[in-house]
Each structure stands twice: as C-alpha cells, then as structure tokens.
Amino acid sequence: DSELVASKSANHEEEILVRSIVLTGNGSYDLIKVMDWPLAAKCGDHEVKVAVDFCGVNFADVYHMKGNVLRRPVPYVLGLESAGKITQVGSAVSDLRVGDRVVCYCPDEAGMFRESVVVPRSHCFPIPGDICTKLACAMIANYISAYFALFNLGNLRSGQTVLVHSAAGGVGWAATQLAASVVGNVRVLGTASESKHQDIVNNGVAEPYTYDSYGSNISDAEVDIIIDNIGGENVKKSMQLLKPFGRVVLTGVNSVVQDDETKVAKAFESLTASVVPMQDLVMGNKSMCGLHLGTLLQDSPQTFHSAVQHVFSLCRQGLIEPRIHAVFPLSKASAAIKLLAERRNIGKVLLKVE
C-alpha cells in the first residue's frame, strides 16, 4: 500500500495525504482499500476544497469495482458524489465562500470517497439552508437522473403511465416520487423484488410487479414512458409495452451485474449492438434514448445546475424526500457497494466521514 502511495505522489510537491477509499484492482471487494492518498494541498483557481461529511454510493461504484462496464487504470479513489463544507476557494470562484455547504458530483473523474476533496466549481452545488447535508448528498445522482429521464427525455405529462424498473433502487425511488407528486394524475407501475413491493407502493407505485411478471401482466401499448436501468434483453420486452409515441429512457445497464453469465453476456452485447431494430422504432412510432449525467454536466452545465435547483426546491416544498436505506462509516465502503450489487437496498446508501 505504501508503494502505491509513493508512486502516486512522486511527481507532486504540494500534496497532503487524505484518508480515502482506493480501488487497487478489479473484481473483488477485498481490493477496495482504506488508504491515505495524495490530494492537492491547494485548490486551483476554478476549484474548491471541501471537508466531506457524507458520500453517496451509486451503482456506478459497482461498475468500477467489477471493472467490466467502467474500467480505468488502478489504483484510484472511488466515488461519484460527496457533500460537506468548503474549506478553501480558488481565486476565480466568486460565488462560494469558506463554510458554505455543497454537494460535489464528479461522475467521470470519481475520487469522492475521501475525507477531503478538491473539485471544479462547476461540479459543486450549494445546499439550501433548510436542507440537511445528509439529505442533499442523497439527491444529486439519483434525483437528477430521474428528473432528466422523466421530464427532459421522457416529456412526462399529466394523464400518462410510467413504468419504473428497479423502483426500490436509488433512481427508481426518485423517479416514482417525481412522477407521482410533481406532475399529477400520473399512473406509476414499478418492478422490484416481491419483498419490496409494499415499500414501493407506499412511495407511489400503483401497480408493483416482479422482474419476471411485468411482461405478462402489463398489456402491450399500455405505457407512455419506461425508465430502464436494467438494459440487455429487458429492453426488447419493455418496447412491446409502449403506446405509439412512447419512449424508453435508458439510465443504466445493471443486468451486467448478476450470477447468470449467459444473461451477463447478452447485457454486454446490448451495450455495443442495437437491441431494438430501427425498423421497429419507425413502424411502431416509438423512441429509445439514453441518459448519462457525466457528459450532460460537461456539455450543458447550466441545464444541470438548473435541474439541481429545481429538485432542491421540490424537496423544500415537501414534494419529494430521499429514503436513506443505510449509512455506513467511510471505512466500510466495500460493504456498502456490495449491498448495492446484491440489490438489498431500498433507496439511497450513504457513507459517513467520522
């Protein structure tokens, strides 16, 4: 471990060591280590430095650990989102001050699972005074994904029917709340393990289904929008349920993480090959689109920031509220990531820096 740190910091003079969650290899939870890892002592002109209180765990962290969907040279610090107080502000940052609370979201760079982070100003989102840091940390990745999927790509309208896959997961939980409470008169169908059905019904799902039963219980041409983070063969089944002008919004490909290797292979095939022939889309008057927050934040930061402000406003109005499934200490990050991979969560999983 000390050799890893030494090699990492050899070319940097002004660095400090910060307790971090480091991925040292792929494919095993044992390769997720708690280590002192280099961090810039001073932030750049357009950056801020944040003392982290909470980190948000996402299924993308499972992808990183597995190394099958997201692979980059190891070792590196895991984590897409964190929240805490600003301790240092770059010279070109004029709208944030030391002591301000922010959520930091770095979906492409990662590196958020640590006691202190340095991030670009564009990746920081001020937390309103009446929202606690813990809740704010549970909102960016999940609720912003659901927000764009439903309203920007899905074009959700009153009177429509939405099918939310993985309705008990972080994005699914958020999508159910947003669809059920923001627009009004929206019928939400949801898939989840049977043991989670009462929870998703309590959250706003009108009709719960298992992953095996929804295809035979929902009529063809019944659904306007499908939020799909499963991918693979599931997409074909979902497309059959769409009404004319219906749309599937792909937010992930979680079917690559399972024990059935045949299904995993099909899921990977769906990443690079067309699962649904273009002719089916044209003749059926249906559409399929995808969402990736990392590229969206890079390409359209103002759109992203506006959505965050709107979601925070909805929370302040009491229209939405994240469900925190569990809070692990930072040192137990591997257990938190494993919990997500095994689909044992209902809602958001956080890490707490102590």
pLDDT band for position 230 (50/70/90)? confident
Q: How deeply is 50 buried, as exposed, middle or buried, from its count of CB atoms within 10 A (0-12, 13-18, 19+)?
A: buried
**What is the per-residue pLDDT for 258?**
57
CB burial class (10 A; 0-12, 13-18, 19+) of residue 344? middle
In whole angstroms, what is the distance from residue 193 CA to residue 186 CA?
23
The fold for domain 2-138+322-352 equals Quinone Oxidoreductase; Chain A, domain 1 (3.90.180)
Q: How high is the pLDDT of residue 262?
A: 54
Alpha carbon distances (Å) from 320 to 151, 154, 170, 229: 15, 19, 13, 21
Residue 11 has pLDDT above 70, yes or no: no
**How confident is the model at residue 214, as a pLDDT?**
95
Angle between helices 333-341 and 59-66 (to 10 degrees): 100
Per-residue pLDDT, averaged over 289-307, amounts to 96
pLDDT of 5 higher than 90: no
Give the 3-state secondary structure of the chain: CHHHHHHHHCCCCCEEEEEEEEECCCCCHHHEEEEEEEEECCCCCCEEEEEEEEEEECHHHHHHHHCCCCCCCCCEECCCEEEEEEEEECCCCCCCCCCCEEEEECCCCCCCCECEEEEEHHHEEECCCCCCHHHHHCCHHHHHHHHHHHHHHCCCCCCCEEEECCCCCHHHHHHHHHHHHHHCCCEEEEECCHHHHHHHHHCCCCEEECCCCHHHHCCCCCEEEEEECCCCCHHHHHHHCEEEEEEEEECCCHHHCCCCHHHHHHHHHHHHCCCCCHHHHHHHCCEEEECCHHHHHHHCHHHHHHHHHHHHHHHHCCCCCCCEEEEEEHHHHHHHHHHHHCCCCCCEEEEECC
Confidence of residue 9 (pLDDT cuts 50, 70, 90): very low
The pLDDT, as a whole number, for residue 270 is 56
Render pLDDT for 37-70 as a digit per residue (tens, 0 to 9): 999 999 999 999 999 999 999 999 998 999 877 6
Residue 323 has pLDDT above 80, yes or no: yes
Residues of the chain with CATH 3.90.180.10: 2-138+322-352
Residue 90: name the closest of 40, 118, 48, 125 by CA: 48
Higher pLDDT: 54 or 182? It is: 54
pLDDT of residue 69: 73
Provide mean pLDDT across the span 20-35.
97
Give the confidence band of 6 by pLDDT, cuts at 50, 70, 90.
very low
Alpha-carbon distance 346 to 40, whole Å?
A: 36
pLDDT value for 224: 98
79 pLDDT higher than 70: yes
Q: Where in the chain is the domain with CATH 3.40.50.720?
A: 141-292
**Which residues lie across from 187 on neighbouring strands?**
161
Tell me the torsion sign for CA atoms 132, 52, 105, 200.
negative
Residue among 336, 261, 324, 296 at smallest CA distance from 65: 336
For the stretch 186-199, pLDDT in tens is 999 999 999 999 99
Q: In the CATH hierarchy, which fold is given to the domain comprising 141-292? A: Rossmann fold (3.40.50)
pLDDT score recorded for residue 289 = 94
* Residue whose tokens read 């890892």: 37
Residue 236 pLDDT class (50, 70, 90 cuts) = confident
- Please state the pTM of the whole predicted model: 0.92
pLDDT of amino acid 10: 42
**pLDDT over 50 at 35, yes or no:** yes
The whole-chain average pLDDT of the chain stands at 92
